[in-house]
Amino acid sequence: MVVTHKKLSSSSVEEISNQQIDILNAVDDAFGGVIVEMKEPMNSNVFDTLLRVSISCWREQGKKGIWLKLPIELANLVEAAVKQGFWYHHAEPTYLMLAYWIPETAHTLPANASHTVGIGAFIMNKKREILVVQENNGRFKGLGLWKLPTGTVDVGEDIVEAAIREVKEETGIKVEFMELLAVRQSHNVSFGKSDLFFVFMLRPLSFDIQKQDSEIAAATWMPFEEYAAQSYMQKNEHFNYIAKICAAKIDNDYTGFCALPATAVSSRRRKSCLYFNNHGGVVVPNTI
């Protein structure tokens, strides 16, 4: 939908509706609202008028929420939407999603993503040595602290896959899933968002370390006791407990969660994965 650049008078609404374009293209959502995804360039005055007419129309139709997706190339349209009462819902590098609520009641639109997600990897070889790294960046830079490989889970990425990927990237070691040992939730981590951190035990499938130079200052196999005895591990309550959990696991005195991939029965057939304690096969006979 390309509209030529021209200055619109106050009679423009009628003018436009007498042309081909009545209101903005929209599709219904499943909750009584509409979704507008702008794609083509548009003059902001033209957009302002079209949006005003469109909202009136959707109000008459009894619509509730309006989603307005503006690609970053159409940043010139943001101000007009905000002036008409839209607020920012979320943004990704390539677009901004704005929202508007027509009814008088409080809106029931779903919240934006609230958490970043990270992983830590506990990997032991047959000599009771564990894979540890020192980082080039971040809060542990230059402290000489040996720590478990960690990393960030991408959108759409399984937490286990993220752990396997991060270990490979940072150390060159191939690993496979054994168990989810623990989960930690923290708050106010990045931009006020909360964070969920999953600690996995992974089985090494290779042993020759090829460290990544950009993020990792050093990587080695280290006796578990030496790792756990670092003074920082004693001072940090959660590092300390995670080391105790790993120690219990080494002694066969700990059961974490297994992973069971499944496809939820829904119209979208999303892939998902369930983590739970399957000790003794009490829930399901065979799990990975």
Chain residues 128-187 in contact with its own copies, contact rule CB under 8 A: 137, 139, 152-159, 180-187
Q: How far is the CB of 14 from its own copies (least distance, A)?
A: 28
Chain residues 186-205 in contact with its own copies, contact rule CB under 8 A: 186-194, 196
Q: Any contact of residue 207 with its own copies (CB under 8 A)? A: no
Q: How far is the CB of 79 from its own copies (least distance, A)?
A: 4
What CA–CA distances, in Å, run from 184 to 103, 117, 197, 235? Answer: 39, 10, 5, 17
Chain residues 217-256 in contact with its own copies, contact rule CB under 8 A: 235-238, 241-242, 244-245, 248, 253-256
Chain residues 61-100 in contact with its own copies, contact rule CB under 8 A: 72, 75-76, 78-79, 81-83, 87-97
Burial class (CB in 10 A: 0-12, 13-18, 19+), 69: middle
Catalytic site residue from 157, 161, 169, 215:
169
Binding test (CB under 8 A) with its own copies, winner from 2, 4, 231, 282: 282
Binding test (CB under 8 A) with its own copies, winner from 205, 218, 229, 273: 273
Q: How far is the CB of 167 from its own copies (least distance, A)?
A: 18
Residue 154 · residue 92 · CB < 8 Å: no
Q: How far is the CB of 264 from its own copies (least distance, A)?
A: 6
Stretch that binds its own copies, among 5-13, 55-63, 169-177, 275-283 (CB under 8 A): 275-283
Q: Would you say 60 or 237 has its CB closer to its own copies?
A: 237
x/- binding map, residues 20-59, to its own copies, per CB under 8 A?
-----------x----------------------------
User: 3-state SS string over the chain?
Assistant: CCCCCCCCCCCHHHHHHHCCCCCCCCEECCCCCEEEECCCCCCHHHHHHHHHHHHHHHHHCCCCEEEEEEEHHHHHHHHHHHHCCCEEEEEECCEEEEEEECCCCCCCCCCCCCEEEEEEEEEECCCCEEEEEEECCCCCCCCCCCECCEEECCCCCCHHHHHHHHHHHHHCCCEEEEEEEEEEEEEEEECCEEEEEEEEEEEECCCCCCCCCCCEEEEEEEEHHHHHCCHHHHHCHHHHHHHHHHHHHHCCCCCCEEEEEEECCCCCCCEEEEEECCHHHCCCCCCC
Q: Any contact of residue 257 with its own copies (CB under 8 A)? A: yes
Q: How far is the CB of 168 from its own copies (least distance, A)?
A: 19
Catalytic residue check, 60? no
x/- binding map, residues 4-23, to its own copies, per CB under 8 A?
--------------------
Report d(CA 52, CA 22) in Å as an integer.
11
Q: Would you say 71 or 172 has its CB closer to its own copies?
A: 71
Q: Would you say 197 or 221 has its CB closer to its own copies?
A: 197
Active site residues: 169
